[in-house]
Structure 1
Amino acid sequence: MSETPRVSLRSLLPYLRDHRATLALVGVLSLFGAVTTLAQPLLTRQVLDGLQASQKIAGTVALLVVVLAAVAVLNAVRDYLLQRTAEGLVLGSRRRLTRHLLRLPISEYDRRRTGDLLSRVGADTTLLRAVVTSGLFETVTGAVMVVGATVAMLLLDWVLFLTAALGLALGLSIALVFSRRVRPASEEAQARIGEMTSAVERALSAARTIRASNAEDREIATVESSAEEAYRAGVRIARLQAMIGPASIAAIQGAFLLLLGVGGARVAAGTISVGDLVAFVLYLFFLVMPLGQALHAYTQLQTGLGALQRMEDILAVPLEPDTGTATPASTPAAVVFERVTFGYDRSPIVTDVSFTVAYGTRTALVGPSGAGKSTLLQLVERFYDVTAGTIRVAGADVRELPRQVLRAQLGYVEQEAPVLAGTLRENLRLTVPAATEAQMLEVLAAVNLTEIVSRTPEGLDAQVGEGGVLLSGGERQRLAIARTLLAAPPILLLDEPTSNLDARNEVALREAIDMVARDRTMIVVAHRLSTVVDADQIVVMDGGRVAAVGRHEELLEISPLYRELATNQLLVAP
C-alpha cells in the first residue's frame, strides 16, 4: 500500500465545508473585534493628550468604554460560535471515520490492532478541536491585529517601531525553529498512544485468561511499557513547547525594555508626546499578544495536522469494493463452488475446490483443523474474494452481486458466536430492527433459550454483558443462531453451531435447525460428525482440498480420512 500524502491546511477543507456559514460569521466578528481593539490606543492617546491640555474628555472616555464593551461582547459571541464549530468538527470527523472503519475490508481488521483504530476515533479526532479554537482562527485574527498594529506603530513613530521590531524578530525566529519540530513529534506521540490503547484493549478483552494464567504482572508490564513510550513522546513535545515560551517571553521583555528606554528619551527630547508613547506601547502589546497567540496556534496546528495525518491514513484505505450490479436468479437459492482457490500472500488456504449445494439441502463440511472449512463460508459471504475460480449463489457470481444483496440471501453464524454488549433485544434486532417481541420470543424458544428471558424481571431487556460474558458459552452460541434465524434468510451458513453445547441443548438445537432448514439451503461446518450424519451431502476437506464427497455411509466406504474421523469419534467400531 502506498504511503498517504502528507496533509496540509488544505486537507482540513472537507472537514470545515459544513461549517462555512458559521465560520464566515466568526470571521466577520473577529474582524470587527480586531478593528475596535485597534481603536483603543488612539482613544487612550486622546484622553491623555486632552488631560495635558485641560480639554473636556468625557465624550472620549464614554466612547472608550463603549469600545471596550463592544470588544468583550464580540469576542464572547465569536468564542462561543468557534467552540460550537469545533465540537461540530470533532463530531463530523468521528462520524466520517467511524463510517469508514466499519466498511473496511475484513483483511484490514486482520492486520491492524483494534486499540490503535479506537485511538484514531477518540484521541486523534479530539485534537482537531484545537485546530479550530486555538489554531486556525487565532492565526487569522492575529494576522489582522499584527497588520493593524504594525501600520499604526509606523504612523506614530518609525524609529520606535524599528527598535521594537529588532527585539521581536530575534525571539520569533528562535521560537519558529522549535515550532516546526512539533508536528513530527506529535505524530509519534499519537502513534504511541495508539499502541498503549491497543495494549490496554488486549489485556481487558482477555482479562479472565490473563488472570487464570497468572499473567497479570506480564500484561501490566506490557501496558506500562507502552505508557512509558507515550510518556516519553509527550515529554518531547512538552520540551519543544517549553522552549517556545521562554523565547517569546524574552523577546517581549527585551522589546519593552528597549522601547521604554528609547521612547523615554524621545519624549524628553520633545519628539513625541506622552500620549504617543502610551499609544505606541499599547500597540506593541496588541502586536506581541497576537504574535504569541500565533506561535501557540502554530504548534496547535502542527499537533492537529499530525492527528489529521493518522486519520487520513485510515481514510485513504479503500473500502470494501461493491461494484456488483447483478441480481439473484428467481430460481431457488443454491451455492456452487467452481475450482475455487484462495490464500494470503500467495500461500493457498483452499485449492481447486468444487462442489454444489442444491436448493433445500444440507451440506456438511468436515475435516481436520486448518483444512479450510471456515474459509469457504467466509468466501461465500465475500469477506474475502477468491484468488481463482467462482462461487455462485442463486445462479450469480458472488463478485457480481452487490454485497448487501448477497448478504441478504445469507444467514451466517460465526464459530466464535459473538454477542454484542447490550440487551437480548438489541442483539436479536441486529439482523431485523423491526422484529416484534413475539417473533423474538419464538426464535429464542426454537433454540431452547426461553429460560434466559424468564430468569430475570427485565426479560428481553436483560443485559448480556461485554461480549456476552453474563451468558454461558452455549447460551452465547444459541443467541447468535437465534439472531440469524430471526432474519429467515434462504441460505444458512453455520460454522460449528454446536461446538459449545451440552448433549441436551445440542439435540434441541439440531431439532430447531431441522425445523428452520426446511425450504432453505444450508452449509454447516461440523467438528462432531454425529451432528451431520444425516446431511444430504458431506464434503470432506483435507489440506485445503476436497478429499471426498458423499453421504455418511458412502464416505465410510470410500474415504479413509472420514472413516478415521468417525472412528476417533466412536461413530464406528475400529
Structure 2
Amino acid sequence: MSSAPHKPLGFAGLIGMAPWALLGASLLAIASAALSLAPFYVLYRMALAIFAPVPDTEAIRHLALLAVAAIALRWLMMAASHALAHLGAFSVLFQLRLRLARQLARVPMDFFARHGSGSLRKTVVDDTGAMEGFLAHMLPDVVASLTVPLAALALMAAMDWRLTLAALAPLPVAVLLQAVLLRDSGERMREWHGLQAGIATQIVEFLRGMPVVKVFGLSAQSFGRLDDAIQGAVRWVDRYSAGSAGGWAMFMALLSANLVVVAPLGAWLHARGQVDAATLVLFLLVAPLVLQPLLRLTFAFGEQARRAEALRRIGEVLAAPVLRDVPGAQAPALAVPHGIAFDNVEFAYGDGVGEAQALQGISFEAPAGRVTALVGPSGAGKSTVARLLPRLHEVSGGAVRVAGRDVRQWPQAALLSRMAIVFQEVHLFHGTVRDNLRMARPGASDEELVAAATTARAHDFIVRLPQGYDTPIGERGARLSGGERQRLSIARALLKDAPIVLLDEAMAHADAENELLIQQALDVACQGRTVLVIAHRLHTVRQAAHIVVLDQGRIAGQGRHEELLAGCALYRQLWRDHEDARDWTLGSELGGAP
C-alpha cells in the first residue's frame, strides 16, 4: 500500500480543472464591472453639458443613448459570465466527485472505519457541492468586486486627489477591525465543520437504526448522540453570534460611511470654487462604490474560510494511501490451480501505531479445488482473515498468496475477478433483480442469469415477484426477505463463475427452510472451486477438507474435523457448545413452565 502522487488541492487547482470556462467567466465579470462605472461618467459629462453657459442638448441626447448601451452591454456580459462560470463549476464538480469515487474504490477498508460513512458522505456530497458556490458565484463576484473599487479609484483620482483620499478615510479603521474579527477564524471553521460531520454521522446512524427507534418510541431528541450533536452546533452558533455581532455591525457601518467625509469636504471645496458642480456630483455617486464592494469581499472571504476547510477534507481523501498495483504485474493463467496460502500474516487496524494486533502469525494453506473453513469464537479474527484475501485490508506483515503469488503482486482488478464473495451482510443496490445480478458480469445473457438464479434456488421466488427479474427490490433489497437476499447474493456469485469462492457467514441469518436452500446452492457453487468459508454453525463445515481454528487473532489448531476433536481443546468446546445449542429449547431452560 502506498500513497498516490498527489499535490495539495487548492482553489487554483479547482480552476485548473476547467480553466477556459472559469477564466473566461472572470474576464467577462471584470469587463462587466468596469462598464458599471460608465453610466456615472456619462452623468458627469451630461452635468458638464447642462451646466455649460450654453447647454448642448444634442450632446446630452447622445450621452443618454451611450449610457443605455453601456448598461445593456454590462448586463449581457454579466449573463455570459455567470453562464460560463456555471458550466465550468459543474464540470469541476463532475471531475472532483469522479476522482473521489475512484479514490474510495482503491483505499483499504480500514479507511472507512476510521472516517465513518456520515463524514465521507459529507465530503463527497456537501463539501464538493460547496465548491459550486465558489466557482459559479463567488469567483465572478470577487473579481467584479475587486474591479469596481480599483476602477472607481482611478476615475476619482483623475478628477480630484483630495476627495479621493477622503473617500478612503474609513478604510484603515475598517481593515483593523476586520483583522480583529477574523482572528482564529481557521480554528473556528474547523470546529464548525467537525460539528457538521458529527451531525451527518449521527443522522446516518439514526436513519439506519429506525426500526429500533420506532420500537422503543425514540425521537431525534431522545436519540442522545444526535440530539447532543445538534445542540452542540446550536450552542456554537449562539457563542459565535454573540461575540461578533457588534463588531460586524461597526465594520459594515464604516464601509458605508465615506460620504460622511466626502460630502462636507466636497461642499466646502465647491464653495471655494476649487471643485465644480459636475465633479461634486460624480464624487457623491462614485465614492460609495470604493468601499461598499469590500463588504461583499469580506463575506466572500468568510465563506472561503469555510470552503477551505471543506477543500482540506477533500484533499485528505484524495491523498489517502491506496492499494496500488505493481508496475507490469500480470495475473497467472486461469488454468493454474488457485490455492490459497497465509504465510506468517500479521495485521493491525488503523496505522498499527498503538493498535492491538488483530492477527498474529497466521499460517495455513487452503488447497485448490477444496473447502477450507475458518471457525472460532466471535472476535477471533475470522472475517479479518477473509478480508485480507481480496485486499480489502492490507497485511502488516507476512504474505497472503493466491496461485503461489503474493496478492500484492497481482493486478487488483485481476485478483478480484478471480473471486466470488458472499458476505454475511448482503449488499444489494437500489435497482431491479436483473441489475443486481449483472453486477457480477455485466455482459451476461438472460439465459445465464436464469441458470445462476436456478442453481442458487432463487429463480422460483424471483418469477413470483410482480415484474420477475425486472422487479425493483428497493434500497438494500428492502422488499426481499433475508433468505431471498442471501440466495440472490449467491446467484450473483455463481454468475461471476470465479475459481475462488469466499463465504463469510453466508447462513448466519437464515431460518431452517432457507438454510437448506442456501446449503444446496452453496454445494453447487463450491464444486471444483477453491472455497474459504467462515462458519459458526459447525455442522455445515464438518466435511471440509481443512478447518482452521482461530482464537484472539492466533491459530489454535488446524486439520480435519476428527483430528481437531482429538487434538484441539478449543474446537472440542466449540463443537460441544454447537451440539448443545442445536438441542436447546426454551422449555428446557425454564423447567417446562408454561
Q: Is the TM-score greater than 0.5? A: yes
**Aligned ranges for residues 249-328 of structure 1 at < 5 Å?**
249-323=252-326, 325-328=329-332
Asked whether the equivalents of residues 81 and 140 of structure 2 are also in contact (C-alpha less than 8 Å), the reply is no
Counterpart position of 1:395: 404
Q: Deviations over 1:429-472 (max 9, x none)?
A: 22222222322222222222224322332222323333333222
Q: Which of 531, 548, 554 in structure 1 is aligned with 2:557?
A: 548
Alpha-carbon shift at residue 201 of structure 1 (Å)? 0.5
**Aligned ranges for residues 72-111 of structure 1 at < 5 Å?**
72-111=75-114
Q: 1:185 to 1:558 in 2, by over 3 A?
A: closer
**Aligned ranges for residues 42-81 of structure 1 at < 5 Å?**
42-53=41-52, 54-56=55-57, 57-81=60-84
Counterpart position of 1:566: 575
Partner Cα distance (2:256, 2:292) in 1: 12
Deviates more, 1:82-91 or 1:523-532: 82-91
AA paired with 2:48?
A: D
Q: 1:218 to 1:475 in 2, by over 3 A?
A: farther
Counterpart position of 1:192: 195
AA paired with 1:82?
A: A
Counterpart position of 1:422: 431
Q: Which of 246, 249, 257 in structure 2 is aligned with 1:246?
A: 249
Partner Cα distance (1:280, 1:218) in 2: 57
AA paired with 2:371?
A: R
Alpha-carbon shift at residue 203 of structure 1 (Å)? 1.3
Counterpart position of 1:332: 337
Asked whether the equivalents of residues 362 and 535 of structure 1 are also in contact (C-alpha less than 8 Å), the reply is yes
Q: Which of 426, 432, 440 in structure 1 is aligned with 2:449?
A: 440
Identity %: 30
Counterpart position of 2:155: 152
Q: Does 1:169 align with 2:206?
A: no
Deviates more, 1:501-510 or 1:490-499: 501-510
Q: Deviations over 1:467-496 (max 9, x none)?
A: 333222222222222221110110111112
Partner Cα distance (2:16, 2:371) in 1: 53
Partner Cα distance (1:343, 1:45) in 2: 76
Q: Deviations over 1:390-421 (max 9, x none)?
A: 22211111121122221111112222223333
Deviates more, 1:173-182 or 1:60-69: 173-182
Alpha-carbon shift at residue 178 of structure 1 (Å)? 2.0
Alpha-carbon shift at residue 26 of structure 1 (Å)? 1.8
Q: Deviations over 1:489-543 (max 9, x none)?
A: 1011111222222333323322222223222111111222221222222233334
SS in 2 for 1:540: strand
AA paired with 2:12?
A: L
Q: 1:467 to 1:211 in 2, by over 3 A?
A: same
Asked whether the equivalents of residues 328 and 395 of structure 1 are also in contact (C-alpha less than 8 Å), the reply is no
Q: Deviations over 1:20-46 (max 9, x none)?
A: 111232233223223323333222111
Q: Which of 116, 121, 128 in structure 2 is aligned with 1:118?
A: 121
Q: Which of 448, 463, 469 in structure 2 is aligned with 1:460?
A: 469
Counterpart position of 1:38: 37
Deviates more, 1:395-404 or 1:320-329: 320-329
AA paired with 1:290?
A: P
Consecutive unaligned residues of structure 2, counting only runs of 5 or more, are: 1-6, 584-594
Partner Cα distance (1:249, 1:348) in 2: 58
Partner Cα distance (1:340, 1:72) in 2: 67
Partner Cα distance (1:136, 1:518) in 2: 62
Q: Deviations over 1:261-292 (max 9, x none)?
A: 11112222222111111112222133233222
Partner Cα distance (1:120, 1:49) in 2: 58
SS in 2 for 1:553: helix
Partner Cα distance (2:559, 2:530) in 1: 17
SS in 2 for 1:478: helix
Q: Deviations over 1:340-385 (max 9, x none)?
A: 3333445333333333222211122223223322222112122223
SS in 2 for 1:150: helix
Q: Does 1:230 align with 2:229?
A: no
SS in 1 for 2:547: strand
Q: Output the TM-score relative to the length of structure 1.
A: 0.91
Asked whether the equivalents of residues 130 and 300 of structure 1 are also in contact (C-alpha less than 8 Å), the reply is no
Q: 1:350 to 1:305 in 2, by over 3 A?
A: closer
Alpha-carbon shift at residue 123 of structure 1 (Å)? 2.2
Counterpart position of 2:587: none
Asked whether the equivalents of residues 343 and 350 of structure 1 are also in contact (C-alpha less than 8 Å), the reply is yes
AA paired with 1:42?
A: Y
Q: Does 1:343 align with 2:342?
A: no
AA paired with 1:413?
A: V
Partner Cα distance (1:82, 1:240) in 2: 36
Partner Cα distance (1:427, 1:242) in 2: 54
What is the CA RMSD across the aligned residues, in angstroms?
A: 2.7
Asked whether the equivalents of residues 149 and 284 of structure 1 are also in contact (C-alpha less than 8 Å), the reply is yes
Q: 1:471 to 1:297 in 2, by over 3 A?
A: same
Deviates more, 1:487-496 or 1:49-58: 49-58
SS in 2 for 1:353: strand
Q: 1:257 to 1:464 in 2, by over 3 A?
A: same
Q: 1:251 to 1:375 in 2, by over 3 A?
A: closer
AA paired with 1:498?
A: M
Alpha-carbon shift at residue 238 of structure 1 (Å)? 5.2
Q: 1:517 to 1:148 in 2, by over 3 A?
A: same
Consecutive unaligned residues of structure 1, counting only runs of 5 or more, are: 1-6
